[in-house]
Structure 1
């Protein structure tokens, strides 16, 4: 299981390979939110999302013989790119199973990082079954998008950075909101911040795909009724992870739920006031800080990804001019 020690070990392996991303703040954004909002800009991470951390952590932790045979990942795009670049920099092969409806920019970038991309229909095909077949057939090691201890540990390094950056700013209490699909990012950050009693992790998800929020409320893993139907493609997962949910059930507060329009508005405001580019799934935590009720005076959010389709980004700017 992932622990603080595993996260600290992942941080040592990531040192010099991943970026330490900034914690951004803008007074005009604070005024809109009516609270202080600090944005952990993982959209500026290598490959445009936090997923590089987990990919590097998992691949670098493999025994050399297993690593040499290559890795497999399945992802709508951000985990795909993170694993592809980590594999390329380790000099090994990567095969990536991606849904055919993933944004073209994510598919194209994954291929550009040197990976072999295999597309599937997420509405009719079981990616887990397809992945198991490919793993067995080619001798690859599967790097899961969130339900893997080393992946969780890699994402948890963001929590270590948040702890250090907030300490430098004199912040000792805050809600920390993480964009959430299967829960790898959320659970990793929650574990990293567990020693810091003033911080409480909350998840953020799009309406209709809020399986983690409903699971935290019920105490059992809930399932989404549909596989598609939100602009937040990066965080559409069927149910919370088997490894991640127990961590979040123990450490997380209530989950936040936002609409696609709120995510688009957060994208526009992030561009206007922070000059960063976010994708819808990477903007839901900021949307929660802007629009969710009953949050404290200081909120830290993950801007988890910026690999947005240009047409969707234009829609955000046109529909919600700042």
Structure 2
């Protein structure tokens, strides 16, 4: 039995130092990409500052998580490697651990909840890991992970609360300083806290005046509340599209580091995240997952209030693994939020040519009709009439307002649905 496989949440773990992050960089040098730090005029304007994007969405496996996973797996003893590794995850950590284990030729098991995305399950298996489906949620999958680890002697690779994981994530901080020595502030997403902890140690050790700001989901402000109250807090206030940072409780070690090194923790909502994901696709041609877009979303939604325009600010786009169905929803909702898609309901006489007249009128404004849906059977539709839902694409909110005024002038009975 591998005694190191048992996960002890009460075990006092040593806080990693800059030397540990430098060693992790050496371990990762031949396997992990140094991702670009890209300046952006478009998002600088939206955020009201001099903005640079750290593109971890272009990392191997599509996320920063592989850095910590590879650093941890690389430091296993021969005995631990022989027993293999195990992790609980429904997303990026799973793929990071599976990839690292494949490179090191170490047996790997990933425990995922029963409702895990089929795409993420397939991606994890593609790296050679054995995927075990257990439990209805992450907590139940985590319990199963500990049971399997005890039975098979596998080493648990925790998603964030581990010194080697934190050191691996900290290599991002080193890369930022290499590419932008005079950076003023760094914004990054916070879930369990591994990324924030690692980057904060790396940056503060070399340039203590650089501000580190964590960004959490408003629905899961666990780290912010923990820091504010001076002890670990657990929270679950609802649903967030940003499942990568929807963490009920941060780690003990990450909490200690964040409390010491991170200057502030701010909150962002899902509406801002969706808008930002849409803008990244349209303006920067980047596919970024919800958690990965969180820090940029905060900067955009708080443009002009996040610091001076001359400040050099880095936002870490931490991952790019998005379910394709969700991506379609983001595009549709993004268009609506930007005032470029409008859904209206029109009540028309149920006669030939009635709809054509409306369509011809709308076409005069150069508006694209995306979808048409008829409704004759609902109780609120009077006999002899037909309800029609029109989904319309336009240039901007002013274009939408011209449509509304135009329909009123034509005395067409309508209401805006969304």
| TM-score normalised by length of structure 1 | 0.94
Matching residue of 2:87: 73
Structure 1 pair 90–173 and aligned structure 2 pair: CA distance change class (3 A): closer
Give the Å deviation of 1:200.
1.5
Give the Å deviation of 1:173.
4.1
Greater relative contact order (CA < 8 Å, ≥ 6 in sequence):
1
Question: Does 2:31 align with 1:28?
Answer: no
Matching residue of 1:191: 201
Structure 1 pair 80–124 and aligned structure 2 pair: CA distance change class (3 A): closer
1:19 match: secondary structure: coil
Q: 2:306 aligns with which of 295, 300, 310?
A: 295
Question: Does 2:169 align with 1:159?
Answer: no
In the alignment, the residues of structure 2 paired with residue 31 and residue 100 of structure 1 have an alpha-carbon distance, to the nearest angstrom, of: 43
In the alignment, the residues of structure 1 paired with residue 278 and residue 39 of structure 2 have an alpha-carbon distance, to the nearest angstrom, of: 15
Give the Å deviation of 1:146.
0.2
Structure 1 pair 132–314 and aligned structure 2 pair: CA distance change class (3 A): same
1:137-176 map, 5 Å: 137-167=151-181, 172-176=182-186
In the alignment, the residues of structure 2 paired with residue 162 and residue 317 of structure 1 have an alpha-carbon distance, to the nearest angstrom, of: 30
1:39-118 map, 5 Å: 39-118=53-132
In the alignment, the residues of structure 2 paired with residue 93 and residue 141 of structure 1 have an alpha-carbon distance, to the nearest angstrom, of: 10
Matching residue of 1:276: 286
Matching residue of 1:220: 231
Question: Does 2:319 align with 1:305?
Answer: yes
Give the Å deviation of 1:124.
8.5
| Deviation sequence 1:118-155 (CA, Å, 0-9, x none) | 22335495344322211111111111000111000100
Give the count of matched residue pairs.
317
Matching residue of 1:179: 189
Give the Å deviation of 1:72.
0.4
1:118 match: secondary structure: strand
In the alignment, the residues of structure 2 paired with residue 4 and residue 263 of structure 1 have an alpha-carbon distance, to the nearest angstrom, of: 32
In the alignment, the residues of structure 2 paired with residue 140 and residue 65 of structure 1 have an alpha-carbon distance, to the nearest angstrom, of: 10
Structure 2 residue ranges without an equivalent (≥5): 1-13, 339-418
Q: Could you tell me whether the CA contact under 8 Å between 2:113 and 2:140 is conserved in 1? A: no
Deviates more, 1:133-142 or 1:297-306: 297-306
Matching residue of 1:245: 255
Structure 1 pair 134–306 and aligned structure 2 pair: CA distance change class (3 A): same
Q: Give me the CA root mean square deviation.
A: 1.7
Matching residue of 1:200: 211
In the alignment, the residues of structure 1 paired with residue 164 and residue 146 of structure 2 have an alpha-carbon distance, to the nearest angstrom, of: 19
In the alignment, the residues of structure 2 paired with residue 66 and residue 4 of structure 1 have an alpha-carbon distance, to the nearest angstrom, of: 25
In the alignment, the residues of structure 1 paired with residue 298 and residue 241 of structure 2 have an alpha-carbon distance, to the nearest angstrom, of: 16
2:87 match: secondary structure: strand
2:288 match: secondary structure: coil
In the alignment, the residues of structure 1 paired with residue 56 and residue 111 of structure 2 have an alpha-carbon distance, to the nearest angstrom, of: 23
Structure 1 residue ranges without an equivalent (≥5): none
Matching residue of 1:230: 240
Structure 1 pair 256–108 and aligned structure 2 pair: CA distance change class (3 A): same
2:180 match: secondary structure: helix
In the alignment, the residues of structure 2 paired with residue 14 and residue 142 of structure 1 have an alpha-carbon distance, to the nearest angstrom, of: 20
Q: Could you tell me whether the CA contact under 8 Å between 1:99 and 1:121 is conserved in 2? A: yes
Q: 1:5 aligns with which of 10, 19, 24?
A: 19
